[in-house]
Amino acid sequence: MNGEDFISGKLILIDKEKKWSSFDVVNKIRNAIKKKFSIKKIKVGHAGTLDPLATGLLILCTGKMTKNIDNLSILRKRYLGTITLGATTPSYDCETDINNTYPTSHITEKLIKSNINNYIGVISQKPPIYSAIKKDGKRLYMYARAGEKIEINSRKIEIFDFKIVKINMPNIDFEISCSKGTYIRSIANDFGKNLNSGAYLSNLKRTEIGDFKIINASKVDEFIDKYLN
């Protein structure tokens, strides 16, 4: 690949590592392209963000391919993850510390599996306050970090498939396929509430976006070593 290829437009599948933000990935790939081919300016964007603590498939588009980002971002997503029962965190995942604990002795495998039915189809979901959604021109996580309370509107999302892979209390491994805009962290938080307990998302990996699969993706450094060094 040469500089013109990236300017004309490339679609890049990246296997994002934990603690990288989606912007970190975009920025590193963009800078590597500019340095390798002595390009002053090139567009690079991603088609659907991943939280820093989540790993897995991230689609990057370069150059003229960035025009397709909106079409790619609406594709259904598939994830593997772990819900931990018996506690909650303000961010609904491991970004923040546990703020409350709850009993789990009443929770059976049958109860867990029957709870799945609450999430299949079109449902209303309230996004976490620790998210990048804007309200009144300000990102929600900014309100959260400032300790400000704010009303968050629910929105419609769709869950196409939700399966329990393994139960090893207090952890539940799952696989889920969902629409754009779904917060798996909110699924985890609601899952605990519906079990008369608490829960948070302790692990998440995106494995598919539409027909694009994680098996065909490269780590950031692997991609740079192969094409941009």
Q: Are strands 171-178 and 44-46 parallel, antiparallel or unpaired?
A: unpaired
Same domain, 143 and 190: yes
Kind and range of the H or E element at 41? Answer: none
Q: Give residue-wise pLDDT tens across range 65-115.
A: 999 999 999 999 999 999 999 999 999 999 999 999 999 999 999 999 999
124 has a pLDDT exceeding 80: yes
Same domain, 146 and 131: yes
Asked if 136 is an active-site residue, the reply is no
The beta strands (E) that lie in 23-140 are given as 44-46, 55-62, 77-85, 87-88, 100-101, 121-125, 134-135, 138-139
Cβ atoms < 10 Å from Cβ of 21: 14
Same domain, 205 and 95: yes
Q: Are strands 44-46 and 11-16 parallel, antiparallel or unpaired?
A: unpaired
Selecting among 51, 97, 136, 161, the annotated active-site residue is 51
Chain-centroid distance of CA 100 in Å reads 24
* pTM across the whole model: 0.94
What residue type is assigned to position 193 of the chain? Answer: K
Q: Give residue-wise pLDDT tens across range 21-55.
A: 999 999 999 999 999 999 999 999 999 999 999 99
Query: Which residue's entry shows tokens 């976006």?
Result: 209
pLDDT at 80: 98
Same domain, 103 and 155: yes
Same domain, 88 and 191: yes
Domain of 101, in residue numbers: 77-209
Report the number of distinct structural domains present in the chain: 2
Q: Give residue-wise pLDDT tens across range 127-160.
A: 888 777 787 777 877 877 777 777 888 999 999 9
